[in-house]
Structure 1
């Protein structure tokens, strides 16, 4: 990085993501997952999994188990039916966040509810040291399009911060046992936004990852659709992202992120801000 105000940007294009069409499941993997393994894309900061899934109606992931990860889903369209070994049964629609701190272990199933495909991002994060074997916990949060319109809306924040409530359902971000903050945004054409990153204890700055949701339909080819320009507020390169594209961001300690919707349609994206 040339200065503390710059951001090094490494694109992760839609065509570079691992993808698979299983019929009932159409999926993309940003990081190594299942049968996909790439040592260059194992994880980033505390971010371990970023899958963009489309599940056909009345199908889904049968009961399976997890432990020692923080796992949350961001529902984009359709309805996601969740059941787990803690007794939680829920149907989640667009804008919902379903957070599971798996801790010592849980079993759950995730299926498309009703007659429509469900489209969602599933995200895994590594827990803070010493918190991977805690008691499992489950939380839900709900964010409307208006909540995210033309702003960085905080949807997930560390459980040890003052930003969250540890109630099962509440206003504000879902708690996560990780040093990760997730933001969602729905930006109109012509809008520019600036994000000030959370203060870092690392003198070299922070890590972040940005992902543009692929809303117009399953496309394993070259990215198309929206145009989101991404760069530092003060100095450094600017790149353009389209649906399904993402970028690794190495953030100087004084840098702020600027994003601009340079296209003709609204753009939906997720930003992960990490130590």
Structure 2
């Protein structure tokens, strides 16, 4: 396929440049400097600050811990991850999905840390590991009201095209308390984030090609129209042979295997980035597009 982004600067980022740690209960890979792993080449990219690919053992997880001034979301790939706010103990359940939610594949859980929030994330399954991405973005201002949101984005949707999952809060940085509480996103059907950022995901069958539209699908979703930072990550499968691959913008020098990524710079709203599935199995790709 012809190169659709000849003006773009696309840099391949191999999986083996990620930080890794195996704590027994947690097998984690860090795309950006995090915890005890630091690499000055990978501190942030636009608003994107953290992208961890985590696997958590059964009956273990992250106990109640605080967050401040970060936009944090979890994208579930397999298994179950149970979120409880600081008042919910293991074994107790609630009908309020923003206090208790047992997430499975297709679910996305979003947290605005703001001026302070605490929660736990546990794998309460008796035998299965959970595999998920945890992503942090830098908000457009500090001291925001903390909040949770959880939603589901189906396999069927993501097999048709890149699905916008998270888009900026429509009211922007000057949102009123009522607009913050309403949490209306710039694009209907997505989760609102306090950043000029779009998070999207697609599942591409072999030999098929998806197009990602920089800035999201629609008009005026993002504020900054030029020089956006697009990070493309091919998630790992749970199979040992790892056979999915994607080619970006028709370029033979930018072919991602599982766990690989690419930095895409010098792109503007409306530009189309082609992602071709060139491996033997479905490729699950996430894209973080920010200023």
Superposition TM-score tier, normalisation by shorter sequence: 0.7 to 0.9
* Cα distance in structure 1, aligned partners of 2:119 and 2:240: 26
Deviations 1:120-164 (A, max 9, x none): 000000001x3x2111011011011101113010111111269xx
Q: Is the Cα–Cα contact under 8 Å of residues 231 and 289 in structure 2 kept in the other structure?
A: yes
Q: 1:159 and 2:169 equivalent? A: yes
Deviation at 1:9, TM superposition (A): 1.2
Structure 2 partner of 1:226? 244
Does the Cα contact within 8 Å between 1:96 and 1:141 map onto a contact in 2? Answer: yes
Equivalent residues, number = 260
Specify which of 209, 212, 229 is matched with residue 231 of structure 2: 209
Counterpart Cα distance in 2 of 1:257 and 1:32: 27
Selected match of 1:125 from 115, 137, 153: 137
Return the offset for 1:227. 1.4
Q: CA deviation at 1:251?
A: 3.3
Q: Deviation string for 1:232-267 (max 9, x for gaps)?
A: 7xxx77510011001111033364201101122111
Match of 1:194 among 207, 211, 231: 211
Q: Structure 2 stretches of 5 or more lacking a match?
A: 89-98, 173-181
| Residue of structure 2 equivalent to 1:80 | 81
Q: TM-score, normalised by structure 1?
A: 0.87
Q: With structure 2 as the length reference, what TM-score do the two structures score? A: 0.83
* Change beyond 3 A, Cα 1:148–1:156: same
Is there any run of 5+ residues in structure 1 with no aligned partner, and where?
none
CA displacement 1:97-125 (0-9 Å, x = unmatched)? 00000110011111112121110000000
Q: Which consecutive aligned stretches of 4+ in structure 1 deviate over 4 angstroms post-superposition?
A: 199-204
For 1:15-94, what aligned pairs fall within 5 Å after superposition?
15-85=16-86, 88-94=99-105
1:135 match: secondary structure: coil
In 2 relative to 1, CA 110–14 (structure 1 residues): closer, same or farther, beyond 3 Å?
Answer: same
Q: Does 1:177 align with 2:194?
A: yes
Pairwise CA RMSD of aligned residues? Answer: 2.5
